[in-house]
Amino acid sequence: MQPIRPRPRSEPFKALGLTRTVAAIALVSGVVNLLALTSPLFMLQVYDRVLSSRSVPTLVGLAVLAAGLYAFQSALDILRARVLLRVGERFDHEFSGRVHDAVVRLPLHARLPGDGLQPLRDLDNVRGFLSGQGPTALFDLPWMPLYLGICFAFHVWLGTTALVGAIVLVSLTLLTNFLSQGPIRATIEHNMVRNALMEAGRRNAEVVRALGLGPRIAARWREANVAYLAANRKAGDVASGLGGISKALRITLQSAILGVGAWLVIRQEASAGVMIAASIMMGRALAPVDLAIASWRPYLMARQSWARLQDLLGKLPEAGPVLALPRPARDLCAEALAVAPPGDRKPTVMGIGFAIQAGSALGIIGPSGSGKSTLARALIGAWEPAAGKIRIDGASFDQWDREALGRHIGYLPQGVELFDGTIAENIARFEPEADAGKIVAAAMAAGAHELILRFEAGYQTRIGEAGSALSAGQRQRIGLARALYDDPFLVVLDEPNANLDSDGETGVVRAITAVRERKGIAIVVAHRPSAINAVDHVLVMEAGRMKAFGPRDEVLSKVLKPPPDRHPATNGAAPSGPPAYRPTTRTLHPFHVAAAPASGFDTAAEKTPEAEDADVRH
């Protein structure tokens, strides 16, 4: 895994480089807040000048002026909202690609806690907050002192009343922040667990149905959902409770300032217009606080989401530009290789070192759990080595651009996963404007061409999510065609014949032979011996270490032993004559590792036709 590069905490605006945009929004907000004085000043003029003078032209003039200012304020409000909406979109455009890359790469670097799509939801939380009313409150809050100052200009008691109200509401906002952080964090965590259980049930729907696990899986999900609802209820109670108190206090304070204003009018220390204008002014001063309290939950969710996104993107930084290397054509080397599963520090495979020349094929054999698939994942660059290097033509994988290297690698995993799309798109690895000739050639090399043509839509058949419309054998053949697309230099096949019939196994052997003939390198992880028949080198794995490596027949004769044969005529004793294992260019029997006779591969003479298709796994 690449070293974590610490990144300074920054707000989304700053991270986007929107200094000028923020300054423009602040300027627009300042004009909007100045225009908000229209209402109290209009009321002040109406009560103190129009009513006393009974001048209709003055009233009309004030009304026309106020209408124009209201229209201008409305236009600026709309403009500010539209700008904030586009700021949210820009945030999404800026980070969505990196978030997608991180979501795809994260399983290769660490174990996923809960819901693997949470980073995408975090992105939506931040974008939603930036596009909503939350930032508006933040831009309006600095103008609160202006309104309070005008209240003091009207009368000191009016200003004092407004100031006390502002202090109470600001304190309530801080209390909201203190009480909401924990419940909101717990809500998000429980939601991640709930979504992960739901996705696991959907992904394994066949197993759930076949084994009658529906009620038990549903019970687990309901338990997680109850915990989520409880956390959500607690967070909602805090937000709604403090929001209700804030609203009641705001109305109370407006009534209080009206009462103070009326008392001042009675004492002839203020006019009726001042009383009404002060009430409106205080309402405008406290409005951003009220809006901030209402938007506090989205704000906290966005802030926590942004912190998680920064942490995630800091752990998985973007790869820098890499010099393009020529197409590999010489060899593959593993140097003192050690591999640990994602999220583990202790390697499960270590001490691997070998070199394979172009035109060769390597078979990796050994008992279950010996580290064969782990080694295969490292050889294609999916898992980064904990120690050592893997080199193609002398260049380690980190010297390659991943997309460029991917064109030279073909990989068929044990569990073949295909993407929703057509068969042709999957074979072509979703390459834009892929060459139809290369697609057909890959399918023919995998022995899948005739199989594909039997579908009603042929290569344009849509296979559904994860290839759900296909059988396991069909997915394996199409996955093999994808691995062979565009003649990659290195082809790694992890149990390529696990779900194949005899014709499919023949296709695998032919594909391995074709890779060797065009001077590529094929690596085959196998339990069934038919694929080993096409390789010229064998690597034997045991307990995560390389037990032997070398030419196939030489290695098999040294580290493998024939299974004991029972012969009635000799009462179980082995017959005299040559040993049971005879290297052959034809199909081999399953093998047993000498040091682990209960598992692995057995050697024997030629297979009988009846045993040709037997899938012997240990």
CA distances from 79 to 69, 74, 93, 282 (A): 15, 9, 21, 25
Domain shared by 471 and 382, yes or no: yes
Query: Among the three residues 544, 560, 576, which one is the final residue of a domain in this structure?
Result: 560
| pLDDT confidence bin for 618, thresholds 50/70/90 | very low
Q: At what angle do helices 296-315 and 272-294 cross, to 10 degrees?
A: 40
Q: What is the DSSP letter of 614?
A: -
Strands 409-412 and 490-494: parallel
Helix (H, G, I), strand (E, B) or coil at 194: helix
On whether residue 606 sits in a domain, the answer given is no
Give domain status of residue 570, yes or no.
no
Q: What is the DSSP letter of 185?
A: H
Nearest alpha carbon to residue 295 among 150, 18, 84, 145? 84
Supply the pLDDT for residue 115: 65
| pLDDT at position 8 over 70 | no
Q: Could you read off the pLDDT of 516-545 as tens digits, one per residue?
A: 999 999 999 987 666 688 899 999 988 889
Average pLDDT of the residues in 264-287: 86
Q: What mean pLDDT comes out for the span 415-435? A: 89
Return the sign of the alpha-carbon dihedral for residues 523, 524, 525, 529: negative
Which residues, in sequence order, are CB contacts of 505 under 8 Å at separation 6+?
497, 528, 530, 531, 613
Out of 239-248, 264-273, 608-617, give the one with best mean pLDDT: 264-273
CATH code of the domain containing 496: 3.40.50.300
The alpha carbon torsion through 261, 264, 266, 271 (nearest 10 deg) reads: -70
Confidence band, pLDDT 50/70/90 cuts, at residue 596: very low
> Are 37 and 113 found together in one domain?
yes
Computed over every residue of the chain, the mean pLDDT equals 81
Q: What pLDDT score was predicted for residue 13?
A: 60
d(CA 191, CA 115): 8
Provide the pLDDT confidence category of residue 612 given band limits of 50, 70 and 90.
very low
Average of per-residue pLDDT across 259-283: 88
- The rounded percent of the chain whose pLDDT value lies above 70 is 84
Average pLDDT over residues 405-409: 91
Helix 296-315 to helix 214-266 angle (10° resolution) is 130
Tens digits of per-residue pLDDT, 301-347? 888 888 888 888 887 777 777 788 899 999 999 999 999 888 788 88
Clarify whether residues 199 and 81 are in a common domain.
Answer: yes
Q: Check: CB of residue 289 under 8 Å from CB of residue 173.
A: yes
3-state secondary structure of 356: strand
pLDDT in tens, 438-450: 999 999 998 889 9
Question: Where does residue 480 rank: exposed (0-12), middle (13-18), buried (19+ CB within 10 A)?
Answer: buried
Residue 471 or 538, more confident: 538
Q: Is the model's pLDDT at 580 over the cut of 50?
A: no
Structural domain for 516, as ranges: 331-560
| Same-domain pairing of 129 and 195 | yes
pLDDT of residue 358: 94
Tokens of 161: 């009343």
Report how far residue 340's alpha carbon sits from residue 386's, in angstroms, rounded to the nearest whole number.
6
Contacts within 8 Å (CB) and 24+ apart, 561-569: 561/592, 561/594, 561/597, 561/603, 562/592, 562/602, 562/603, 562/604, 563/589, 563/592, 563/602, 563/603, 563/604
Residue 40: partners with Cβ closer than 8 Å, 6 or more residues away: 150, 276, 277, 278, 280, 281, 284
Domain count, the chain: 2
Distance CA(588)–CA(605), nearest Å, equals 7
* pTM of structure: 0.69
| Residue pair 434/491 in contact by the 8 Å Cβ criterion | no
Q: Is residue 320 part of a domain?
A: no
Question: Of the given ranges (225-234, 486-495, 583-592), which has the lowest mean pLDDT?
Answer: 583-592
- Cα distance between residue 331 and residue 328, in whole Å: 8
Q: Residue 520's closest CA among 333, 354, 359?
A: 359
The answer to whether residue 19 sits within a structural domain is: yes
CA max distance for the chain: 132
Give CA separation, 354 vs 364, 428, 459, in Å.
12, 31, 39
- Please indicate whether residue 105 or residue 382 has the higher confidence score (pLDDT): 382
585 inside domain:
no
Residue 590 near residue 528 (C-beta atoms within 8 A): yes
- Per-residue confidence (pLDDT) for residue 70, from 0 to 100: 92
Q: Whole-angstrom Cα distance, residue 488 to residue 407?
A: 6
H/E stretch holding 159 reads: helix 156-203
Residues 213, 362, single domain; the answer is no
Residue 301: inside a domain? yes
- The whole-number pLDDT of residue 6 equals 41
Answer yes or no: do 536 and 427 share one domain.
yes
State whether 29 and 172 are in the same domain: yes
- The pLDDT assigned to 360 comes to 93
Residue 109 pLDDT > 80 = no
pLDDT(587) > 50? no
Position 578 scores a pLDDT of: 36
Between 154 and 210, the higher pLDDT residue: 154
User: What was the pLDDT predicted at 31?
Assistant: 92
At 212 the pLDDT is 79
Does 371 lie in the same domain as 283? no
Pairwise pLDDT comparison (17 vs 152), residue with the higher score = 152
What is the model's pLDDT at position 14?
60
Residues 306 and 383 in one domain: no
Contact yes or no for 390/333 (Cβ under 8 A): yes
Assign 113 a pLDDT band (cuts: 50, 70, 90).
low
CATH code (residue 123): 1.20.1560.10
- Show which of 255, 283, 315 is a domain's final residue: 315
Residues 347-357 have pLDDT tens digits of 899 989 999 99
pLDDT digits (tens, 9 = 90+) for 119-144: 888 888 888 888 888 888 888 888 88
Is 566 within the bounds of a domain? Answer: no
Lowest mean pLDDT among 71-75, 280-284, 291-295: 291-295
Handedness of CA 322, 324, 327, 330 (dihedral sign): negative
**Are 236 and 184 in the same domain?**
yes
Tokens found for residue 333: 């080397």
One domain for residues 336 and 263: no
* 456 belongs to a structural domain: yes
Euclidean distance between CA atoms 543 and 349, whole angstroms: 8
How many angstroms from the chain centroid is the CA of residue 241? 35
Residue 65 CB contacts under 8 Å (≥ 6 apart), including other chains: none
